[in-house]
Structure 1
């Protein structure tokens, strides 16, 4: 291995959402000289969120703008931010070793995992066939392409309602399809949705098939099935937005760390410590309950402080093992 391809650091932060950048800020302030590897989606999920109204200090802020500010803040504190993707992580021995797509190897004494979560899909063949051609999981990314069109949103939580509301900026009509007759979203979002004349909820239905054409490739309709009667209804639509939640991006550590609740990294109560000393986890990767930007940022702070404490204790123990020179 060439020296050019290897980087040594006290703390490696993997991920660049609110948890990752906050960890980078706090680790830098602790003089740990952290390296942060952004991952495949720099800025995380907030880069695909249009209006953020629950970030303290900002009545309203654009998600991408907020993440640019966080990155700038982390760099200003001294965090080295690298645009790369960690493809493998070996936690079986110390120091830990992470390998990136670029060929760089990072050797580190502590790891802060902040890889977040990714959109879930329904798993339909027709959904897969039209991904990128009318089927999307990101309204802020793709809503602009459906100006004046009829579209559908699948889901019943905050994500679905937020996407439906945002899509009314472009679409002539948004049909929200949900398998139940009530939503799991926050009341303020439900109230906004029900008052919006462009949004029509369709209760007790699930997506059965995405219908489209091949030349040019694109969606023309969806077929939905009533959960009780099984009756199929076809709804004209040019866009289909899947908004059924997210799954933790824990592939890097699924065989190495203790997981729970369907793949979330388990941490000790009141801490970000994982099942391996020196490895810490923060944000949506470990939070199956709150999943908010502000709680992710708080956990990023905790992870950096936990890492600082771990390294201080580790170094103190190493010094005690050194025999005094007489």
Structure 2
């Protein structure tokens, strides 16, 4: 039996399926955690309408960041995109749409070093990577879109992971440990979409069931897929 510990209790099981997904990558700067939900967000679709007529900032430069910027222009008075490089990494069509939008301003070669505010966001501090110059940009919202990380810290040292924390599996979703399976976005793979996660979940459930049946001597002899 394996033991899964939560804040409230412990669960014992012969097999475990890990489907912990991913979470937004954080900037790791002052003010980010303290002002989360008070102007700091990781989801423009969720929180964009709350910033109607306001000046907001988006941090990032890939497809997701530019898509969020374009989405936020429907609500915001102005959207400033902060990117650490001198040009966007997003696909060409997204770049063209963003560069042509009069509501969007760009701050290149820069990183956000602090999110300012007491009860809510009232600005950010930005540093230019080339000139080392620092300045403050007034805003009431900061949307962080710099990628995702797998939610697998709780498994460190228990199953094999790649350097980013994604879990490699075989074709049946089995990890490096017998009886432990992984599926969905926390798994090491090329494509992360709902449809792939659903298929992997079905495979993991079938494989885990078969594993438990074999442990109990209940496995049906012959072809296992019938």
Regarding TM over 0.5, the answer is yes
The partner residue of 2:3 within 97, 100, 103 is 97
RMSD over equivalenced CA pairs, Å: 2.6
Match of 1:292 in 2: 193
Distance 2:97 2:211 in 1: 46
Distance 1:298 1:194 in 2: 38
SS at match of 1:175: strand
Matches within 5 A, 1:80-119: 95-103=1-9, 105-119=10-24
Q: Pick the structure with more helix per residue.
A: 1
**How many residues in Structure 1 have an aligned counterpart in Structure 2?**
221
Match of 1:208 in 2: 113
Considering Cα pairs closer than 8 Å and 6+ residues apart, tell me whether 1 or 2 has the greater RCO. Answer: 2
Alpha-carbon contact 2:169-2:175 (below 8 Å) kept: yes
Distance 1:279 1:318 in 2: 18
The verdict on how the C-alpha distance between 1:318 and 1:142 changes in structure 2, with shifts beyond 3 A counting, is closer
The verdict on how the C-alpha distance between 1:231 and 1:280 changes in structure 2, with shifts beyond 3 A counting, is same
Shift of 1:196: 3.3
Q: Could you state the TM-score of these two structures normalised by the residue count of structure 1?
A: 0.60
Match of 2:80 in 1: 175
Unaligned segments of structure 1, at least 5 residues: 1-94, 321-326
- Deviates further, 276-285 or 220-229: 220-229
Q: Pick the structure with more strand per residue.
A: 1
Shift of 1:178: 0.7
Distance 1:206 1:258 in 2: 33
Match of 1:304 in 2: 205
Match of 2:150 in 1: 248
Answering whether residue 47 of structure 2 is matched by residue 142 of structure 1, we say: yes
- Deviates further, 135-144 or 234-243: 135-144
Q: Could you state the TM-score of these two structures normalised by the residue count of structure 2?
A: 0.84
